[in-house]
Amino acid sequence: MLTTTRTDNAYELALENFDAAADVLGLDRDTREMIKYPERVLTVTVPVRMDDGHIHRFEAYRVQHSSVRGPAKGGIRYHPQVSLDEVKALATWMTWKCAVVNIPFGGAKGGVTCDPKHMSHGELERMTRRYTSAILPLIGPERDIPAPDVYTNSQTMAWIMDTYSMTKGYPIPGVVTGKPICLGGSLGRNEATGRGVFYTIQCACDHLHMQLKDATVAVQGFGNAGSIAAQLLHEAGARVIAVSDSTSCVYNRNGLNIPELMHLKALTGKVEGFPESEPITPAELLAMNCDILVPAALENAVHVDNASMVRVKIVAEAANGPLTPAADRILEGNGTFVIPDILCNAGGVTVSYFEWVQDEQHLFWEAQDVYDRLERVMKTAFRDVLKIHMDHKVPMRTAANMLGIGRVAEAVQIRGIYP
Ligand code: NAD
């Protein structure tokens, strides 16, 4: 497996970022105590009968970080590196992210420590259904709404919805988002994260007086978020010159044909061997001499040991937590403009919110409605974060955290707490 990742503890990094923003906001101790830590943490055992007949036990988690502004919301990840601290970090970021785009949700996340690439369809279905039963006391359309994340997809959401609905005796589509359209999914949800990334890159280019047309781009991680962002950038006339997935990196100085690369990835599950490209290393991709870097894989991709190799004008964090705080400081020093994850990739949860609204109302929108509303939400959030960045002279990440944390702090102060 390709790796550029160091094992910094994501949850410690999330707390470090919280403190940096809370300090600039001048947040009092009591408010920090109320909003900083997860409200609920559940660890479960998921026994699954594997295809060869033996039982395998998986460890799994669901963390609700906050329900201050609304039901908790967050994806479910299937990956060998899933740990409780990673899930706590991702749940924490979801809280601030929902507040940055001002949607009425709190933050949550779930994960199963497993290797989905080496599991059959049947094993994945049995594991998903058993995991759903195990977290059943926490989830529901009014309390906690899962969605896809790394190595989960609309099929996973369909199994969760079905398992949950079976226990109630009637269909409850609003328990998950990112569902197939035929089960109450929203048009535009599948491409929402990448589309949101694209809108924020457009805003960053405007701010920096940079042309997106002919700008050069490198994308680390060619899954849902990375491939859609690459496709929209390609359609806008940018040249996506380097792309990687977990097994290889491909490069073409004149620009890769992204629709054809997506076709290859769909057919073979890999970008490897793409015609009219040459292989490069993960380190070369990060060090690529280009205008925009889109890290769209996992956490800690850019860290203290490799950040100084990054030489781009814009880093657009499609992934959650791809830059460590140390990397942030190095890039800040180099004058790199970072679009932080809780702003950059918030398009996914925004359209998840639209999906939940449609499910609750049993009234479904046209794709163009979804795109228009998403564009408004993303561009408003970008403008709000940029204003804090300029007014307070703080990095964009601190500005985004200030906006999100500030909104949650205001909500908790007004609600108060039950004695
Ligand atoms: P995905 O499973 O669709 O794709 C992940 C991609 O990353 C795959 O192509 C995989 O091969 C690649 N990858 C894994 N390890 C890699 C490595 N070391 N180097 C290069 N590539 C590697 O997942 P996704 O949904 O696109 O999620 C990617 C990131 O975006 C995650 O951080 C996720 O939390 C974040 N995100 C996703 C959504 C969403 O709606 N899907 C929303 C917000 C944030």
**What pLDDT, on the 0 to 100 scale, is given for residue 6?**
46
Residue with tokens 């307070």: 392
Give the phi and the psi of residue 134 in degrees, each rounded to 5. Answer: -70, -30
* Chain segment 238-258, per-residue pLDDT in tens: 999 999 999 999 999 999 999
Q: 294 CA distance to ligand 1 centroid (A)?
A: 11
Contact between 400 and 387 under an 8 Å Cβ cutoff? The reply is no
Contact 339, 314 (CB under 8 A): yes
Contact by Cβ (8 Å): 177, 189: yes
- pLDDT value of position 2: 44
Express as a percent the part of the chain with pLDDT over 70.
98
Between CA 211 and CA 357 the distance in angstroms is 36
Alpha carbon 356 to its chain's center: 18
Other C-beta atoms closer than 10 Å to the C-beta of 349 total 27
pLDDT, tens only, 110-156: 999 999 999 999 999 999 999 999 999 999 999 999 999 999 999 99
pLDDT digits (tens, 9 = 90+) for 172-197: 999 999 999 999 999 999 999 999 99
Identify the bridge partners of residue 292 per DSSP, sorted by sequence position. Answer: 217, 314
Q: Is the CB of 154 under 6 A from ligand 1?
A: no
How far is the first Cα of the chain from the last one, in angstroms, to the nearest whole number? 51
Q: Which DSSP symbol is given to 119? A: S
Task: Report whether residue 248 contacts ligand 1, using a CB cutoff of 6 Å.
Answer: no
Cα gap 100→415, rounded to integer Å: 19
In this predicted model, what pLDDT tens digit does every residue of 349-380 receive, in sequence order?
A: 999 999 999 999 999 999 999 999 999 999 99
Whether residue 326 contacts residue 303, with contact meaning beta carbons closer than 8 Å, is answered with yes
Active site residue 97: no
Q: Is the CB of 200 under 6 A from ligand 1?
A: no
**Integer Cα distance of 11 and 167 in angstroms:** 34
- Which atom of ligand 1 is the closest one to the Cα of 77? 34
CA-4 nearest atom, ligand 1: 18
The label of the residue with tokens 């328990």 reads 175
Q: Does the C-beta of 322 come closer than 6 Å to ligand 1? A: no
> Is 3's pLDDT higher than 70?
no
One-character DSSP codes across 192-220: HHHHHHHHHHHHHHHHHT--STT-EEEEE
- Cβ(298) – ligand 1 distance below 6 Å: yes
Q: At 417, is the pLDDT very low, low, confident or very high (cuts 50, 70, 90)?
A: confident
Going by their DSSP bridges, the two strands 314-316 and 292-295 should be labelled as parallel
Q: Would you give the DSSP letter of residue 251?
A: E
- The CA distance from 91 to 183, in Å, is 26
Main-chain phi, psi angles of 50, to 5 degrees: -80, 170
Cα 390 to ligand 1 centroid, rounded to whole Å:
31
Q: What is the pLDDT of residues 5-56, one digit of tens each?
A: 445 788 998 998 899 999 999 999 999 999 999 999 999 999 999 999 999 9
